[in-house]
Chain A
Protein backbone atom coordinates (compact mmCIF):
# COMPACT_ATOMS: atom_id res chain seq x y z
CA UNK A 1 0.00 0.00 0.00
CA UNK A 2 1.32 3.40 -0.94
CA UNK A 3 0.68 6.47 1.18
CA UNK A 4 1.02 9.92 -0.20
CA UNK A 5 3.08 12.52 1.62
CA UNK A 6 -0.06 14.29 2.78
CA UNK A 7 -1.88 11.21 3.99
CA UNK A 8 0.95 9.82 6.14
CA UNK A 9 0.58 12.32 9.01
CA UNK A 10 -3.13 11.74 8.99
CA UNK A 11 -2.57 8.03 9.38
CA UNK A 12 -0.11 8.75 12.16
CA UNK A 13 -2.67 10.96 13.91
CA UNK A 14 -5.24 8.23 13.59
CA UNK A 15 -2.89 5.58 14.92
CA UNK A 16 -1.78 7.81 17.80
CA UNK A 17 -5.39 8.54 18.71
CA UNK A 18 -6.20 4.85 18.64
CA UNK A 19 -3.20 4.08 20.88
CA UNK A 20 -4.25 6.84 23.27
CA UNK A 21 -7.83 5.62 23.39
CA UNK A 22 -6.66 2.05 23.92
CA UNK A 23 -4.38 3.05 26.77
CA UNK A 24 -7.07 5.20 28.41
CA UNK A 25 -9.73 2.53 28.22
CA UNK A 26 -7.69 -0.60 28.80
CA UNK A 27 -5.36 0.34 31.63
CA UNK A 28 -7.40 -0.79 34.63
CA UNK A 29 -7.55 1.40 37.69
CA UNK A 30 -7.08 -1.73 39.72
CA UNK A 31 -5.92 -5.21 38.90
CA UNK A 32 -8.90 -7.51 39.27
CA UNK A 33 -7.99 -9.94 41.99
CA UNK A 34 -8.50 -13.61 41.55
CA UNK A 35 -10.66 -15.43 44.03
CA UNK A 36 -8.29 -16.32 46.81
CA UNK A 37 -8.74 -17.51 50.34
CA UNK A 38 -10.56 -14.28 51.07
CA UNK A 39 -13.00 -14.61 53.89
CA UNK A 40 -15.53 -12.51 52.01
CA UNK A 41 -16.58 -15.68 50.18
CA UNK A 42 -18.47 -16.60 53.34
CA UNK A 43 -20.81 -13.65 53.01
CA UNK A 44 -24.06 -14.33 51.10
CA UNK A 45 -24.73 -12.04 48.17
CA UNK A 46 -28.06 -11.07 49.69
CA UNK A 47 -26.24 -9.53 52.65
CA UNK A 48 -24.17 -7.15 50.55
CA UNK A 49 -24.95 -3.48 50.23
CA UNK A 50 -23.53 -1.33 47.45
CA UNK A 51 -21.89 2.06 48.18
CA UNK A 52 -24.57 4.02 46.30
CA UNK A 53 -27.31 2.34 48.30
CA UNK A 54 -25.59 3.08 51.58
CA UNK A 55 -25.06 6.72 50.65
CA UNK A 56 -28.77 6.96 49.91
CA UNK A 57 -29.58 5.48 53.31
CA UNK A 58 -27.21 7.85 55.09
CA UNK A 59 -28.71 10.86 53.33
CA UNK A 60 -32.26 9.88 54.19
CA UNK A 61 -33.93 11.58 57.11
CA UNK A 62 -35.60 9.81 59.98
CA UNK A 63 -35.07 6.27 61.15
CA UNK A 64 -33.65 3.47 59.10
CA UNK A 65 -30.06 4.58 59.26
CA UNK A 66 -27.75 1.71 60.09
CA UNK A 67 -25.07 1.47 62.71
CA UNK A 68 -21.85 1.58 60.70
CA UNK A 69 -18.94 -0.48 61.98
CA UNK A 70 -15.44 -0.47 60.49
CA UNK A 71 -13.84 -3.86 61.17
CA UNK A 72 -10.41 -3.37 59.57
CA UNK A 73 -7.25 -1.45 60.26
CA UNK A 74 -7.35 1.17 62.99
CA UNK A 75 -4.71 3.24 61.21
CA UNK A 76 -6.76 3.35 58.02
CA UNK A 77 -9.81 4.23 60.12
CA UNK A 78 -7.88 7.16 61.57
CA UNK A 79 -6.91 8.30 58.07
CA UNK A 80 -10.49 8.26 56.83
CA UNK A 81 -13.72 6.52 57.66
CA UNK A 82 -17.34 6.75 56.64
CA UNK A 83 -18.96 9.60 58.49
CA UNK A 84 -20.60 8.41 61.66
CA UNK A 85 -18.98 5.00 61.65
CA UNK A 86 -17.38 3.40 64.67
CA UNK A 87 -14.16 1.41 64.85
CA UNK A 88 -15.01 -2.07 66.06
CA UNK A 89 -11.74 -4.02 65.82
CA UNK A 90 -10.03 -5.94 63.02
CA UNK A 91 -12.08 -8.98 62.13
CA UNK A 92 -8.98 -11.00 61.32
CA UNK A 93 -7.67 -10.73 64.87
CA UNK A 94 -9.09 -12.48 67.97
CA UNK A 95 -8.76 -9.22 69.89
CA UNK A 96 -10.64 -7.45 67.12
CA UNK A 97 -13.51 -9.91 67.28
CA UNK A 98 -13.67 -9.39 71.04
CA UNK A 99 -13.87 -5.66 70.46
CA UNK A 100 -16.65 -6.18 67.93
CA UNK A 101 -18.53 -8.34 70.39
CA UNK A 102 -18.36 -5.71 73.10
CA UNK A 103 -19.24 -2.92 70.65
CA UNK A 104 -22.55 -4.50 69.68
CA UNK A 105 -23.36 -6.20 72.97
CA UNK A 106 -25.89 -3.59 74.05
CA UNK A 107 -27.80 -3.44 70.77
CA UNK A 108 -30.98 -5.28 69.83
CA UNK A 109 -30.39 -8.37 67.70
CA UNK A 110 -32.67 -6.77 65.11
CA UNK A 111 -30.54 -3.64 64.88
CA UNK A 112 -29.66 -2.68 61.31
CA UNK A 113 -25.86 -2.88 61.18
CA UNK A 114 -23.51 -2.38 58.24
CA UNK A 115 -19.99 -3.74 58.43
CA UNK A 116 -17.24 -2.42 56.21
CA UNK A 117 -13.49 -2.56 55.82
CA UNK A 118 -11.98 -1.48 52.49
CA UNK A 119 -8.40 -2.35 53.39
CA UNK A 120 -7.79 -4.44 50.27
CA UNK A 121 -9.54 -5.71 47.16
CA UNK A 122 -12.83 -7.39 48.16
CA UNK A 123 -11.71 -10.96 47.58
CA UNK A 124 -8.58 -10.37 49.62
CA UNK A 125 -10.09 -8.76 52.71
CA UNK A 126 -9.28 -10.88 55.76
CA UNK A 127 -11.57 -8.97 58.13
CA UNK A 128 -15.11 -9.00 56.82
CA UNK A 129 -15.77 -12.73 56.75
CA UNK A 130 -14.86 -13.37 60.40
CA UNK A 131 -16.65 -10.19 61.51
CA UNK A 132 -19.82 -11.16 59.64
CA UNK A 133 -19.70 -14.69 61.08
CA UNK A 134 -19.26 -13.25 64.55
CA UNK A 135 -22.36 -11.10 64.14
CA UNK A 136 -24.38 -14.01 62.79
CA UNK A 137 -23.20 -16.27 65.62
CA UNK A 138 -24.26 -13.64 68.12
CA UNK A 139 -27.76 -13.72 66.64
CA UNK A 140 -27.83 -10.43 64.75
CA UNK A 141 -30.33 -10.85 61.94
CA UNK A 142 -30.13 -7.54 60.11
CA UNK A 143 -26.46 -7.25 59.19
CA UNK A 144 -25.25 -6.07 55.81
CA UNK A 145 -21.70 -5.80 54.51
CA UNK A 146 -20.60 -2.88 52.36
CA UNK A 147 -19.20 -4.09 49.05
CA UNK A 148 -16.04 -2.13 48.24
CA UNK A 149 -14.51 -3.76 45.17
CA UNK A 150 -11.05 -2.23 45.51
CA UNK A 151 -10.71 -0.31 48.74
CA UNK A 152 -12.22 2.56 50.69
CA UNK A 153 -10.13 5.14 48.87
CA UNK A 154 -11.17 4.04 45.39
CA UNK A 155 -14.77 3.06 46.00
CA UNK A 156 -15.86 5.58 48.60
CA UNK A 157 -13.51 8.53 49.18
CA UNK A 158 -12.74 9.13 45.51
CA UNK A 159 -16.45 9.24 44.74
CA UNK A 160 -16.95 12.08 47.15
CA UNK A 161 -19.04 10.10 49.60
CA UNK A 162 -19.08 11.33 53.19
CA UNK A 163 -15.92 10.69 55.19
CA UNK A 164 -14.34 12.00 58.32
CA UNK A 165 -11.06 11.60 60.13
CA UNK A 166 -10.12 10.68 63.65
CA UNK A 167 -7.47 13.39 63.96
Chain B
Protein backbone atom coordinates (compact mmCIF):
# COMPACT_ATOMS: atom_id res chain seq x y z
CA UNK B 1 0.00 0.00 0.00
CA UNK B 2 1.42 3.27 -1.04
CA UNK B 3 1.83 5.96 1.49
CA UNK B 4 -0.25 9.00 0.79
CA UNK B 5 1.17 12.35 1.74
CA UNK B 6 -0.90 15.14 3.15
CA UNK B 7 -0.15 17.15 0.01
CA UNK B 8 -1.66 14.41 -2.14
CA UNK B 9 -4.74 14.23 0.04
CA UNK B 10 -5.13 17.98 -0.22
CA UNK B 11 -4.65 17.87 -3.99
CA UNK B 12 -7.26 15.12 -4.36
CA UNK B 13 -9.69 16.93 -2.12
CA UNK B 14 -9.25 20.25 -3.91
CA UNK B 15 -11.98 20.85 -6.46
CA UNK B 16 -11.05 20.86 -10.10
CA UNK B 17 -12.19 23.48 -12.60
CA UNK B 18 -15.59 21.75 -13.05
CA UNK B 19 -16.26 21.77 -9.32
CA UNK B 20 -15.32 25.44 -9.18
CA UNK B 21 -17.75 26.25 -11.97
CA UNK B 22 -20.50 24.24 -10.27
CA UNK B 23 -19.88 26.01 -6.96
CA UNK B 24 -19.88 29.35 -8.67
CA UNK B 25 -23.10 28.53 -10.51
CA UNK B 26 -24.78 27.38 -7.29
CA UNK B 27 -23.73 30.57 -5.51
CA UNK B 28 -25.00 32.70 -8.33
CA UNK B 29 -28.28 30.84 -8.37
CA UNK B 30 -28.57 31.33 -4.61
CA UNK B 31 -27.81 35.05 -4.99
CA UNK B 32 -30.42 35.36 -7.72
CA UNK B 33 -32.97 33.60 -5.54
CA UNK B 34 -32.23 35.99 -2.68
CA UNK B 35 -32.60 38.97 -4.98
CA UNK B 36 -35.89 37.63 -6.33
CA UNK B 37 -37.22 37.11 -2.82
CA UNK B 38 -36.15 40.64 -1.93
CA UNK B 39 -37.81 42.00 -5.04
CA UNK B 40 -41.01 40.10 -4.29
CA UNK B 41 -41.05 41.46 -0.76
CA UNK B 42 -40.52 44.98 -2.02
CA UNK B 43 -43.13 44.57 -4.73
CA UNK B 44 -45.71 43.29 -2.31
CA UNK B 45 -46.03 46.71 -0.75
CA UNK B 46 -46.49 47.21 2.96
CA UNK B 47 -46.93 43.84 4.56
CA UNK B 48 -50.20 42.89 6.03
CA UNK B 49 -50.45 43.46 9.72
CA UNK B 50 -51.84 39.96 9.99
CA UNK B 51 -49.41 38.38 7.57
CA UNK B 52 -50.81 34.93 8.19
CA UNK B 53 -53.91 35.94 6.29
CA UNK B 54 -52.16 37.85 3.53
CA UNK B 55 -53.79 37.23 0.19
CA UNK B 56 -50.86 38.30 -1.96
CA UNK B 57 -50.23 35.85 -4.80
CA UNK B 58 -53.57 34.16 -4.18
CA UNK B 59 -56.70 34.32 -6.28
CA UNK B 60 -58.84 37.31 -5.38
CA UNK B 61 -61.94 36.11 -3.53
CA UNK B 62 -64.93 36.57 -5.79
CA UNK B 63 -67.95 38.56 -4.75
CA UNK B 64 -71.08 40.01 -6.22
CA UNK B 65 -72.76 43.07 -4.76
CA UNK B 66 -75.08 45.84 -5.93
CA UNK B 67 -73.30 49.14 -6.21
CA UNK B 68 -74.63 52.50 -5.10
CA UNK B 69 -75.96 53.06 -8.63
CA UNK B 70 -78.05 49.87 -8.26
CA UNK B 71 -75.90 48.06 -10.81
CA UNK B 72 -74.53 44.56 -10.41
CA UNK B 73 -70.92 44.63 -9.24
CA UNK B 74 -69.29 41.28 -9.99
CA UNK B 75 -65.54 41.10 -9.44
CA UNK B 76 -65.35 38.19 -11.85
CA UNK B 77 -66.69 40.38 -14.65
CA UNK B 78 -63.50 42.43 -14.51
CA UNK B 79 -61.23 39.49 -15.35
CA UNK B 80 -58.88 40.72 -18.04
CA UNK B 81 -58.53 44.09 -16.34
CA UNK B 82 -56.23 45.20 -13.58
CA UNK B 83 -58.44 45.88 -10.56
CA UNK B 84 -57.63 48.26 -7.74
CA UNK B 85 -59.92 47.12 -4.94
CA UNK B 86 -60.14 49.70 -2.18
CA UNK B 87 -61.82 49.21 1.20
CA UNK B 88 -62.66 52.58 2.71
CA UNK B 89 -65.14 54.49 4.87
CA UNK B 90 -66.36 58.05 5.27
CA UNK B 91 -64.90 58.21 8.79
CA UNK B 92 -61.46 57.15 7.54
CA UNK B 93 -59.33 60.25 6.95
CA UNK B 94 -56.43 58.46 5.19
CA UNK B 95 -58.96 56.86 2.82
CA UNK B 96 -60.12 60.26 1.68
CA UNK B 97 -56.55 61.33 1.04
CA UNK B 98 -56.16 58.42 -1.37
CA UNK B 99 -59.45 58.57 -3.23
CA UNK B 100 -58.81 61.63 -5.43
CA UNK B 101 -55.75 59.81 -6.77
CA UNK B 102 -57.86 56.74 -7.51
CA UNK B 103 -60.24 58.98 -9.47
CA UNK B 104 -57.31 60.38 -11.46
CA UNK B 105 -55.87 56.92 -12.10
CA UNK B 106 -59.23 55.58 -13.25
CA UNK B 107 -59.39 58.40 -15.76
CA UNK B 108 -55.78 58.07 -16.89
CA UNK B 109 -55.30 54.31 -16.86
CA UNK B 110 -58.88 53.19 -17.49
CA UNK B 111 -58.26 52.96 -21.26
CA UNK B 112 -55.25 50.74 -20.51
CA UNK B 113 -57.39 48.33 -18.55
CA UNK B 114 -57.56 49.65 -15.00
CA UNK B 115 -60.77 49.30 -13.02
CA UNK B 116 -61.01 50.82 -9.57
CA UNK B 117 -63.65 49.37 -7.25
CA UNK B 118 -64.55 50.88 -3.90
CA UNK B 119 -66.03 48.95 -1.00
CA UNK B 120 -67.32 51.11 1.82
CA UNK B 121 -67.33 49.72 5.33
CA UNK B 122 -69.65 52.42 6.59
CA UNK B 123 -72.72 51.57 8.58
CA UNK B 124 -74.86 54.22 6.83
CA UNK B 125 -75.14 54.19 3.00
CA UNK B 126 -76.48 57.75 3.00
CA UNK B 127 -73.15 59.08 4.25
CA UNK B 128 -71.38 57.10 1.54
CA UNK B 129 -73.62 58.42 -1.25
CA UNK B 130 -72.99 61.95 -0.07
CA UNK B 131 -69.21 61.56 -0.08
CA UNK B 132 -69.17 59.70 -3.39
CA UNK B 133 -70.94 62.69 -4.95
CA UNK B 134 -68.68 65.18 -3.23
CA UNK B 135 -65.50 63.42 -4.38
CA UNK B 136 -66.98 62.78 -7.83
CA UNK B 137 -65.90 59.14 -7.78
CA UNK B 138 -65.78 57.78 -11.34
CA UNK B 139 -65.75 54.12 -10.34
CA UNK B 140 -68.29 51.75 -8.79
CA UNK B 141 -68.74 51.71 -5.04
CA UNK B 142 -70.66 49.11 -3.07
CA UNK B 143 -71.39 48.70 0.60
CA UNK B 144 -69.29 46.10 2.34
CA UNK B 145 -70.33 43.72 5.05
CA UNK B 146 -68.87 41.22 7.47
CA UNK B 147 -68.94 38.43 4.90
CA UNK B 148 -66.94 40.46 2.40
CA UNK B 149 -64.50 41.50 5.12
CA UNK B 150 -64.03 37.86 6.02
CA UNK B 151 -63.43 36.91 2.40
CA UNK B 152 -60.52 39.30 2.35
CA UNK B 153 -58.98 37.95 5.51
CA UNK B 154 -60.71 40.28 7.96
CA UNK B 155 -60.62 43.96 7.14
CA UNK B 156 -60.04 45.29 10.64
CA UNK B 157 -58.63 48.70 9.89
CA UNK B 158 -58.70 51.07 6.98
CA UNK B 159 -57.72 51.82 4.33
CA UNK B 160 -56.93 48.53 2.65
CA UNK B 161 -56.17 48.29 -1.05
CA UNK B 162 -55.51 45.28 -3.25
CA UNK B 163 -54.08 45.22 -6.75
CA UNK B 164 -55.48 42.32 -8.74
CA UNK B 165 -53.87 41.36 -12.04
CA UNK B 166 -55.64 40.56 -15.27
CA UNK B 167 -55.80 36.89 -14.31
CA UNK B 168 -57.58 37.56 -11.04
CA UNK B 169 -54.53 37.10 -8.84
CA UNK B 170 -53.80 39.51 -6.00
CA UNK B 171 -50.37 40.96 -6.63
CA UNK B 172 -50.13 43.58 -3.90
CA UNK B 173 -51.80 44.51 -0.65
CA UNK B 174 -51.54 47.90 1.02
CA UNK B 175 -52.77 48.31 4.59
CA UNK B 176 -53.05 51.57 6.42
CA UNK B 177 -51.97 54.98 5.25
CA UNK B 178 -49.74 54.20 2.29
CA UNK B 179 -47.40 56.17 0.09
CA UNK B 180 -49.48 56.50 -3.07
CA UNK B 181 -46.39 56.30 -5.23
CA UNK B 182 -45.91 52.71 -4.10
CA UNK B 183 -49.40 51.80 -5.28
CA UNK B 184 -48.91 53.69 -8.53
CA UNK B 185 -45.60 51.97 -9.24
CA UNK B 186 -47.18 48.55 -8.78
CA UNK B 187 -50.12 49.58 -10.90
CA UNK B 188 -47.90 50.71 -13.75
CA UNK B 189 -46.03 47.44 -13.49
CA UNK B 190 -49.21 45.40 -13.82
CA UNK B 191 -50.95 47.35 -16.57
CA UNK B 192 -48.77 46.38 -19.56
CA UNK B 193 -48.99 42.62 -18.93
CA UNK B 194 -51.82 40.78 -20.63
* Residues of chain A at the chain B interface (Cβ within 8 Å): 5-6, 8-10, 12-13, 15-17, 19-20, 22-24, 27-31, 33, 36-38, 72-76, 78-80, 90, 92, 118-121, 124, 126-127, 150-155, 157-158, 165-167
Contact = CB atoms under 8 A, between A and B. Distances in A.
Contacts of A165: 146
A9 B50 contact: no
B136 to A, nearest CB: 22
B49 A153 contact: yes
A123 to B, nearest CB: 9
Contacts of A166: 146
Given A20-B38, A119-B89, A124 B31 contact: no
A75 B177 CA distance: 20
Given A31-B177, A79-B155, A24 B41 contact: yes
Contacts of B23: 6, 9
Nearest to A165: B146
B91 A73 contact: yes
A150 B178 CA distance: 12
Closest 9 interchain pairs by CB?
A151-B157, A154-B49, A153-B156, A9-B27, A16-B34, A30-B176, A12-B31, A158-B50, A20-B38
A76 B88 CA distance: 12
Contacts, number: 156
Interface string B3-28: 00000000000000000100110011
Given A9-B28, A9-B31, A27-B47, A151 B177 contact: no
Interface residues of B, number: 44
Given A74-B123, A153-B157, A30 B49 contact: yes
A17 B121 CA distance: 41
B42 A27 contact: yes
A6 B146 contact: no
Nearest to A16: B34
B46 A31 contact: yes
A119 B158 contact: yes
Contacts of B177: 30-31, 33, 121, 124
21 contacts: A6-B24, A9-B28, A13-B34, A20-B37, A24-B41, A27-B41, A29-B46, A29-B176, A30-B49, A75-B144, A75-B146, A75-B149, A76-B157, A78-B146, A79-B150, A79-B155, A119-B89, A121-B176, A151-B158, A153-B175, A158-B50
Given A5-B20, A19-B38, A73-B91, 16 more contacts: A13-B27, A24-B41, A27-B46, A72-B91, A75-B121, A75-B123, A79-B146, A118-B157, A120-B158, A126-B91, A126-B93, A150-B157, A152-B156, A153-B155, A155-B49, A157-B156
A154 B150 CA distance: 15
